[in-house]
Amino acid sequence: MNLKPILLIVFGVALILMLAGCGGAQTADTTTSEGKTTAKSEADPSPTKEPPKPGPTASHTPKPSVIKPVSTSTPIPSTETRQSNGLTFTLKISEIAAGILDYDRDDWKHWTDEDSDCQNTRHEVLIEESLKDVSFKSDRQCQVATGEWLVPYTGVIITDATKLDVDHMVPLKNAHDSGGWAWDKDKKAAYANEMGYADHLIAVTASANRQKGAKGPDEWKPADQDYWCDYAVDWVQIKVDWELTVTKAEWATLQVMLKTCDNPPSITAVPSKSESPPTQTPTPKPTTRSVTVTSGSPNIQITSIDCRGKPEIVVIENIGDSAQDMTGWRIEDDGPKYTFDFSGGFSLEPGSSVELISGESGDDTDKTIFWNNRTVWNNDGDTASLFNASGQMVSEMKCP
């Protein structure tokens, strides 16, 4: 029997089986290898693909730079003092000229009603500066009764208009001494009633106005130091606009106050030779004054009294529409023991008030009169009584 063909067949079958076995083992390896790869990718999520993600994160990091502008613009104080930004002034420095005429407040006609709407300058300022709609004393809407004012010198809120004075940022006497003495009455009246520059006239507490009086910044500065920058810039602006001079002492103090500005103005101070008035004989002033006196004087009232403070303050206000000559008027504390007589020629303008001060001394102005250096109203039950020139009592108020 020829076995060769049979052996060849057996060998061929064995070879095929071996090859089939090797192929299966290879497939198992590959599967295992893929299984490892899959497991690895689950345990360590694609390290090669994740690093690019820092790209977006990196582009996120600049986001603080988007937030930065918000925090930079928050220092609103720098915009609050915006009026100093980029301003340039030339300021004339000069001492008060010798021989100028004496200051007379009557020459500076103020609280006029230029547009004849029955609201004088004082009340127009109160309307303009109130943070909310004002109420009036009558249906005619001539005089302001209440509103809401953030008063700058002290930074407090006031709602009662009778507690406020309208102050000339640069007082009339200071304007007179620094060049205004040479103006005619029309220009003086224009200065006294100027509302074109917002801070020329400002509503302030009567007590702060009393303390300031006619003083320059070298003698008086607002208690609220946050207001120093605005105060100094306004002072300089008004002096420049009206071609008035400042003294060396004024200028030295203004420089200190201007250092509180975030962006102080550029000011060139130049010496100026003070003009002396021409030699002339002053025209004697008439002894009588042209004042419309309110008949019966029902509009002159005591509107407040502070008996417990020091100094003591009694406020007398003209709530009428015409000026009142107070010559011969007096105020008493429970009889003639303590009596104050108004000086001849003193007039209370419509819508204005005067404070009668006791327990402190000082310089009188048209808004403040220092009566007695001792306290007067310091007893419970004291009553302030106001009498007109005919001796009739027109108003009274008891100490609270």
Closest CA relative to residue 122, chosen from 323, 299, 397, 400: 323
Identify the CATH number of the domain in which residue 318 sits.
2.60.40.1260
**Distance of alpha carbon 395 from alpha carbon 292, whole angstroms:** 20
Binned at pLDDT 50, 70 and 90, residue 369 comes out as confident
Q: Which domain holds residue 320?
A: 300-398
| 381-398: average pLDDT | 83
Residues 6+ apart with CB under 8 A from 354: 315, 316, 317, 348, 366, 367, 368, 369
The pTM (predicted TM-score) of the whole model is: 0.52
Percent of the chain residues past pLDDT 70, beyond the cut: 70
pLDDT on residue 46: 40
* Helix, strand, coil percentages for the chain (3-state, nearest 5): 35, 20, 45
Same domain, 264 and 309: no
pLDDT on residue 173: 95
Sign of CA dihedral 334, 339, 344, 346: negative
Same domain, 377 and 260: no
Domain count within the chain: 2
Closest CA relative to residue 309, chosen from 246, 357, 250, 372: 357
Same domain, 223 and 170: yes
DSSP 8-state class, residue 246:
B
In a domain, 213, yes or no: yes
Packed helices 248-258 and 228-241: angle between N→C axes, nearest 10 degrees: 140
Same domain, 147 and 245: yes
Q: What dihedral do alpha carbons 298, 128, 87, 267 form, nearest 10°?
A: 10
| 161-172: average pLDDT | 94
In a domain, 164, yes or no: yes
Sign of CA dihedral 192, 194, 197, 203: positive
In a domain, 342, yes or no: yes
Same domain, 200 and 322: no
Q: Is 320 helix (H, G, I), strand (E, B) or coil?
A: coil
pLDDT on residue 298: 73
Closest CA relative to residue 247, chosen from 278, 272, 275: 272
Q: What angle do CA 76, 82, 87 make, to 5 degrees?
A: 155
Same domain, 229 and 133: yes
Where a domain ends, among 230, 253, 271? Answer: 271
Exposure of 232 by Cβ count < 10 A (0-12 exposed, 13-18 middle, 19+ buried)?
A: buried
Q: What dihedral do alpha carbons 326, 124, 306, 298 form, nearest 10°?
A: 40
In a domain, 309, yes or no: yes
Neighbours of 375 (CB within 10 A): 16
Percent of the chain residues past pLDDT 90, beyond the cut: 36
In a domain, 108, yes or no: yes
| 323-338: average pLDDT | 78
274-322 confidence digits (pLDDT tens): 555 554 444 444 433 333 333 346 788 888 887 777 788 888 888 877 8
Same domain, 354 and 255: no
Q: What angle do CA 361, 239, 124 make, to 5 degrees?
A: 75
Same domain, 388 and 328: yes
In a domain, 277, yes or no: no
Same domain, 93 and 190: yes
| Cα distance from N-terminal residue to C-terminal residue, the chain | 150
**Distance of alpha carbon 321 from alpha carbon 287, whole angstroms:** 24
**Distance of alpha carbon 375 from alpha carbon 362, whole angstroms:** 14
Which tokens hold the place of 54? 């820092």
In a domain, 186, yes or no: yes
Closest CA relative to residue 113, chosen from 145, 143, 149: 143
104-127 confidence digits (pLDDT tens): 988 999 899 988 899 999 999 999
Same domain, 224 and 161: yes
42-67 confidence digits (pLDDT tens): 334 444 444 443 443 333 433 333 33
